[in-house]
Structure 1
């Protein structure tokens, strides 16, 4: 039995995938007017799609190839389902504004299963609104000011260890961001297990939806269960008063410790701590790493940014007074496009312009992905899009605002989607900006650095990160 167990499971998984593909092929007839290709039987264009993640250009190479062939709206079959990809400001407005309930959030099956049923990213309607309010309040600007000293201390402690050794910026940033959400002992078995499980979970999101032992999806589910067991232990210790921290988990526990009905359950706590780790940790870690990389490649930008931070060195808590820093952050998010697309599902039939003269009808239930990377690299909107040029943004963002940035009037709405837009805009954007501002401040005021490798390839994961983790040597000023 054991000998034939694994092959039987693989055969069963392939058969299931085949049935899904056949059903998808029949449903594709409803979208026959939308151009595109379904690729190979069962797998579609999944392998081409996944391999594009390792390309230095990222998913942009996959998109541009098909846009040249089919236009800015095309269909394909990837990761077990037919998906319509679309780009442009019109598409962004339809898919992100939330107007008239045209679309709803639509994660791949693997993401839904890993994050759990009560995640902010898997709920809709009134349940989503309630969760966003309960989680969003501790992430408001006023609430985050209470975490300033904690974030500042984490950044200083991390940067203290940099001189005289090879530094992998991605790993160092990861440690700071993770500890902000769920702080564990700086070193030790618990943190190593936590990090290891989280890496497995992150790598399972852009995987084939096969719950077969040995697959990335199966490993992700097992790692999720191990992480939840660890969170159960941490939550129990903190509720018993045996451990008190200054991280985001502690804020949630303190806020929802009463007997009132309007609070988070333990399942909601765990699902959404994992959601914030997946959605906030990886994106912020990647953003900080790309920012350091782009600064190293653009010394004129680095020196201008250093001048701003040296000028405010004695009043760092005035983080709202960093106009050039915010330009650099926006340009980093545009240039790197850390999340290359946003996934939605058509909640009703709607039409979308295809070529400027052709309209396409998208049927209710269709999976639709907004191609953000093409929007951010559109030369008609961002001149010389491959150039790192922060002054293309005129940002007046401050910690007193509830929105992350006020862009120059010439930049049209839905042209820059660094944190998304509409009702699903990233709830942790203020936290991300605060973390990056503080870390970059101490980095620029203390060090110069040079990269140890010249490599532009990216990791084959949904969140775009430098594959080599950006190794540097830092020297004190």
Structure 2
């Protein structure tokens, strides 16, 4: 019976893929003038796409091969849909500026279902502007200052456990960033049973975003929806206690609940509260986790950069008389650290492309893109353009001494959908890196440059190291 069920499931998947492919073939006729290839029947170029994505070179090799054949704008069929990839500053301006409502965000079906219909990432137009305004206040500089001591203390406590043992940097970064964002959002304590349940559910949710859209028990998508429901039940309990006046905290949820009780224009339903808490958990975790891990890896591979960075932080520690009590002003006096951070985001390009959908017809490089077309901005090619970044494979933070032209560097995106948690991410990384380089040197335990086949680029081996005291 189990074998029969598996065969039925495989047949269903193949049938669905076939229908998607046939529909995309008819759609491709509308863009016959755009060069490119649809690849093999049903699967298109998905195998090559995933294979290149997981390689040390990353998706850049896939992009460069097709750009040589077709130019800066090309079409292909990957991951179940026909997509037009485009690169360059002009493309970035069209797709990210939000001018004239040319494009909208284009999440995969699974992502939309998990995040919910009222998420900041699934709304557009005036509703998106409203949500972004409400969310922006708790993530402002003034709001972050309230959480600074917690972030600083958590970084110290996390690094206290590193000495002399095998450390998976990705796992440590993941734990650190999730504890930070969960405390900021709902005042969740960094240790205890609730934290463990929260973390377990979040990991299942996070792994479901790029899964097949099958609500069948045992599939990643089904598990993700179940974990989302368990997390929402936890949030329902917290919201209920807050509304009853039994619990008042200085966190993101409390801010939104105050808004909820205010003018009609600022009221949010419980569904909106929960969808956007989950959205900020996702947005405030995966990318920052990946960025922190790549930064540690690049520092380990570039001792001259590490030496210069350590000098900046030891000077800060000297001004603090050797204590671990960083101040807000110290974080705002780390110029080289910020260059290292930018270079990490350029070199790793954690989000290799930004996915959009044409909300109206538009033209680029002489090609007509029809309304409804999936369009992806190829960010990795922009970040590795030798005309902008000389010797782009070299890790060279000082290249950011020069003023770059708009849309040349997209580490946090740009335009109306620029990362709302950018300041939080920079704060977390600056604080963590300060304590790391002042306390430890480290060496990798494996040489492996391959990456996980996930939407956010992360080292496949989680970058195992052993740390020794300075």
Write the distance in 2 (CA, Å) between the matches of 1:245 and 1:15: 51
Summarize deviations over 1:298-325 as a string: whole Å, max 9, x none. Answer: 1111121111122223778x32221111
The unaligned stretches of length 5 or more in structure 1 are 354-358, 397-410
Could you tell me how far 1:471 is from its partner in structure 2? 1.5
Q: 1:474 to 1:2 in 2, by over 3 A?
A: closer
Could you tell me how far 1:372 is from its partner in structure 2? 0.3
Q: 1:163 to 1:234 in 2, by over 3 A?
A: farther
Contact 2:114-2:205 within 8 A present in 1 as well = yes
Describe the SS at the equivalent of 1:261.
helix
Contact 2:164-2:468 within 8 A present in 1 as well = yes
Q: 1:262 to 1:386 in 2, by over 3 A?
A: same
- Report the TM-score when normalising by structure 2: 0.90
Could you tell me how far 1:18 is from its partner in structure 2? 2.4
Contact 1:349-1:363 within 8 A present in 2 as well = yes
Q: 1:168 to 1:3 in 2, by over 3 A?
A: closer
Could you tell me how far 1:253 is from its partner in structure 2? 4.4
The one of 441, 444, 456 equivalent to 1:463 is 456
Q: 1:42 to 1:117 in 2, by over 3 A?
A: same
Could you tell me how far 1:436 is from its partner in structure 2? 0.9
Write the distance in 1 (CA, Å) between the matches of 2:369 and 2:128: 25
Give 1:104's aligned residue.
Answer: 104
Could you tell me how far 1:2 is from its partner in structure 2? 8.0
**Which has the larger displacement, 164-173 or 363-372?**
164-173
- Report the TM-score when normalising by structure 1: 0.89
Q: 1:434 to 1:65 in 2, by over 3 A?
A: same
Contact 2:53-2:453 within 8 A present in 1 as well = yes
Q: 1:10 to 1:320 in 2, by over 3 A?
A: same
Write the distance in 2 (CA, Å) between the matches of 1:191 and 1:212: 28
Summarize deviations over 1:155-212 as a string: whole Å, max 9, x none. Answer: 1111122223222111111125555545544444433332233223222223333334
**Which has the larger displacement, 416-425 or 207-216?**
207-216
Write the distance in 2 (CA, Å) between the matches of 1:432 and 1:163: 25
Summarize deviations over 1:333-381 as a string: whole Å, max 9, x none. Answer: 000100111011111111111xxxxx21101110100010111011111
Give the aligned CA root-mean-square deviation in angstroms. Answer: 2.4
Q: 1:145 to 1:425 in 2, by over 3 A?
A: same
Summarize deviations over 1:231-281 as a string: whole Å, max 9, x none. Answer: 333444455566666654455445546575513322112211211122220
Q: 1:121 to 1:157 in 2, by over 3 A?
A: same
Q: 1:448 to 1:110 in 2, by over 3 A?
A: same
Q: 1:453 to 1:313 in 2, by over 3 A?
A: same
Write the distance in 2 (CA, Å) between the matches of 1:261 and 1:100: 24
Contact 2:259-2:266 within 8 A present in 1 as well = no
Contact 1:79-1:207 within 8 A present in 2 as well = no
Summarize deviations over 1:98-135 as a string: whole Å, max 9, x none. Answer: 11211111112221111110111100000000000000
Write the distance in 2 (CA, Å) between the matches of 1:99 and 1:23: 30
Contact 2:170-2:290 within 8 A present in 1 as well = yes
Could you tell me how far 1:7 is from its partner in structure 2? 4.2
Total equivalences in the alignment? 457
Contact 1:341-1:373 within 8 A present in 2 as well = yes
Q: 1:221 to 1:53 in 2, by over 3 A?
A: farther
The unaligned stretches of length 5 or more in structure 2 are 321-329
Q: 1:196 to 1:360 in 2, by over 3 A?
A: same
Describe the SS at the equivalent of 1:82.
strand
Write the distance in 2 (CA, Å) between the matches of 1:171 and 1:179: 18
Describe the SS at the equivalent of 1:463.
coil
Describe the SS at the equivalent of 2:104.
strand
**Which has the larger displacement, 387-396 or 181-190?**
181-190
Q: 1:445 to 1:246 in 2, by over 3 A?
A: farther
Could you tell me how far 1:386 is from its partner in structure 2? 0.8
Contact 1:177-1:285 within 8 A present in 2 as well = no
Describe the SS at the equivalent of 2:75.
strand
Contact 1:151-1:180 within 8 A present in 2 as well = no
Q: 1:315 to 1:225 in 2, by over 3 A?
A: farther
Q: 1:246 to 1:307 in 2, by over 3 A?
A: farther
Give 1:341's aligned residue.
Answer: 353
Write the distance in 2 (CA, Å) between the matches of 1:244 and 1:294: 42
Write the distance in 1 (CA, Å) between the matches of 2:442 and 2:248: 36
Could you tell me how far 1:48 is from its partner in structure 2? 2.5
Describe the SS at the equivalent of 1:91.
helix
Give 1:227's aligned residue.
Answer: 231
Write the distance in 1 (CA, Å) between the matches of 2:48 and 2:182: 32
Summarize deviations over 1:389-431 as a string: whole Å, max 9, x none. Answer: 00000289xxxxxxxxxxxxxx221110000011111111011
Describe the SS at the equivalent of 1:343.
strand
**Which has the larger displacement, 302-311 or 228-237?**
228-237
Alignment of 1:187 with 2:191, yes or no, is: yes
